[in-house]
Structure 1
Amino acid sequence: MSVLGILGAGRVGMALARLARNADLEVLIAGSGDPASLADGIAAESPGAVAVTAEEAARSAYIVILAIPLGKYRTLPATALAGKLVIDAMNYWWELDGVRPEFSDPQTSTSETLQKFLVDSRLAKTFNHASVWELENLARPAGHPERRALAVAADQQEDMAQASHLVDAMGFDPVPAGPLANGVMLEPGAEAFGADASAAEMRTMLNRFWTSQRGLVVARNRDMPPAGC
């Protein structure tokens, strides 16, 4: 897991790059422009990270984090990402992405929509529900009494383990949220989104999601039985 790719050189991408460099990972980061034009800014914001193309980051990295606007997901290099563990750190904002029914459908999560496009990749959902400020300021070593938690959703146990290991290495306590479909628990509007929470507090939030207003709407649209039944 020594090489991490980050697609997206905005504030979130840069914050994640700094955390990864602090964890002694090699970081390849791609923005929307020519890598040469981004190199100086990336060197200043995240020393040691290397500006590359999206294709190069996708092909060379062991794990790839997506930190681009969600509405641009079809521009991702799907072929280069085939076989990779891809971490979805994106959120749907209609003000930025436009009104997109596929992202607001309560029958599915945005990560599941992304998985249908990246059909040959393995997806995990995490980092998206932390604010940029949290990523920039709240990373702590393991065992620190003020260490914050980040939830992780993934379908495969190995992918859950790898994504959780990355979260831990980058300064946060990983909390399993279940399968990728449970990524809906981490989206805007859910209690865990933006929560400055400990691991115990995060587990409590995830456990009561299905009794929340958002959880009841999702469960009804997925034909799930009411919580507790």
Structure 2
Amino acid sequence: MTFRNWAFSSSSNWGNRCISRIRCPAPLASSPLGSNCRDPQVSRSSRSVKNMRIGIIGAGFIGRAVARLAIQHGDEVMLSNSRHPRTLASTMVAIGCRIGTSRDAAEFGDVVVLAVPFFAVREIAADLLAGKTVLDAANYYPQRDGAIEDLDTRSTTTSEMVARHFKSAKIVKAFNAILEKDIEKDSRPAGAADRRALPIAGDDADAKRSVRDWLDRLGYDAVDAGMLSEGWRFERARPAYCVPLDSGRLRQKLQDAGTTVAEGSWRK
């Protein structure tokens, strides 16, 4: 699969329909789409202060799961993929989200979730996310992404590489250390005894604060692992990777990150 067309022009006919005015087909008025299908030009002050617009680049398992969870908690979501938005038409109806190009999603979102394979990151236009708070959910899998010496020698981290590519974005590593099947299932109200914690890392304190607050509203505690350079602590095959943990146990796993676990053990 190639990923060479992420930055579609929002001047396309489909882009104009998606970003300038969303219209619900009449037969779908009672569907989930109907309840989330609004004119994007509505003033944000007319919406709940807590609710956000979430742009998601990547419509795979992680992107769709985050979209569903965000919509369940009152957010407006636009999904995009590497192909034409019309390929997401059935997803739009099933989830109740908006669809558009990757540029549409970037412009739409108060925050943007980057949920693409790691190898595809460099194929996204570097200016696409300028000024945005971006949740980087990518993970490095050599068998899929190809060997990357700087990662194999641990001279950098995946999110530092993402940040170097999107120089003007505020990158927060998040949603990379949870399996797609757990994203909706493990959400819990604040104060629940079995509430799960997710690790985050980033260099911008304000961006991390907004991500932490959003995760809290989605049903997760957030544990700050530090700067992006500390993101290796919850990369693939580390003790904190994709394991359900509360805040205290997650902090311990992040401290004990020097060891590795068996490849794929987190899916058992």
TM bucket normalised to smaller: 0.7 to 0.9
User: What's the RMSD between the two structures over aligned residues?
Assistant: 1.4
Partner letter of residue 80 of structure 1?
L
Q: Distance in 2 between matches of 1:130 and 1:26?
A: 22
What is the DSSP-based 3-state SS (H/G/I as helix, E as strand, rest coil) of the residue aligned with 1:81? coil
Q: Distance in 1 between matches of 2:208 and 2:155?
A: 23
Equivalent pair of 2:239/2:256 in contact (CA under 8 Å): no
Range moving further from structure 2, 190-199 or 101-110: 101-110
Query: How much does 1:189 deviate?
Result: 1.7
In structure 1, the residue matched to 2:111 is: 63
What is the DSSP-based 3-state SS (H/G/I as helix, E as strand, rest coil) of the residue aligned with 1:79? coil
Partner letter of residue 213 of structure 1?
T
Per-residue CA deviation, residues 4-48 of structure 1 (Å, 9 max, x unaligned), is 11111011100000111112111011012211221222321x22x
Q: How many residues align?
A: 210
Q: Distance in 2 between matches of 1:55 and 1:102?
A: 29
Q: Distance in 1 between matches of 2:75 and 2:125?
A: 22
TM-aligned CA distance change 1:105 to 1:59, over 3 Å: farther
Equivalent residue in structure 2 for 1:6, among 34, 38, 56: 56
TM-aligned CA distance change 1:42 to 1:94, over 3 Å: farther
Partner letter of residue 118 of structure 2?
L
TM-aligned CA distance change 1:169 to 1:118, over 3 Å: same
Q: Does 1:127 align with 2:178?
A: no
What is the DSSP-based 3-state SS (H/G/I as helix, E as strand, rest coil) of the residue aligned with 2:128? helix
Equivalent residue in structure 2 for 1:90, among 123, 126, 138: 138
Partner letter of residue 4 of structure 1?
I
Partner letter of residue 259 of structure 2?
Q
Q: Structure 1: which 5+ residue stretches go unaligned? A: 215-229
Choose 1 or 2 for highest CA Rg.
Answer: 2
What is the DSSP-based 3-state SS (H/G/I as helix, E as strand, rest coil) of the residue aligned with 2:199? strand
What is the DSSP-based 3-state SS (H/G/I as helix, E as strand, rest coil) of the residue aligned with 1:139? coil
Q: Distance in 1 between matches of 2:202 and 2:232?
A: 12
5 Å matches for 1:1-229?
2-44=52-94, 46-47=95-96, 49-209=97-257, 212-213=258-259
Calculate the TM-score normalised by the size of structure 2: 0.75
Q: Distance in 1 between matches of 2:182 and 2:133?
A: 24
What is the DSSP-based 3-state SS (H/G/I as helix, E as strand, rest coil) of the residue aligned with 2:224? strand
Q: Distance in 1 between matches of 2:152 and 2:107?
A: 31
Q: Distance in 2 between matches of 1:69 and 1:34?
A: 18
Partner letter of residue 166 of structure 1?
W
Partner letter of residue 107 of structure 1?
S
Query: How much does 1:101 deviate?
Result: 2.3
Q: Distance in 2 between matches of 1:181 and 1:203?
A: 17
Q: Distance in 1 between matches of 2:130 and 2:61?
A: 26
TM-aligned CA distance change 1:157 to 1:34, over 3 Å: same
Instruction: Flag the structure with higher helix content.
Output: 1
Partner letter of residue 92 of structure 2?
I
Query: How much does 1:77 deviate?
Result: 3.2
Q: Distance in 1 between matches of 2:215 and 2:221?
A: 7
Partner letter of residue 99 of structure 1?
A
What is the DSSP-based 3-state SS (H/G/I as helix, E as strand, rest coil) of the residue aligned with 1:182? helix
Query: How much does 1:84 deviate?
Result: 0.4
Equivalent pair of 1:103/1:109 in contact (CA under 8 Å): yes
Q: Distance in 2 between matches of 1:64 and 1:54?
A: 10
Per-residue CA deviation, residues 41-70 of structure 1 (Å, 9 max, x unaligned), is 2321x22x1111001111221110111111
Percent of counterpart pairs with the same letter?
32
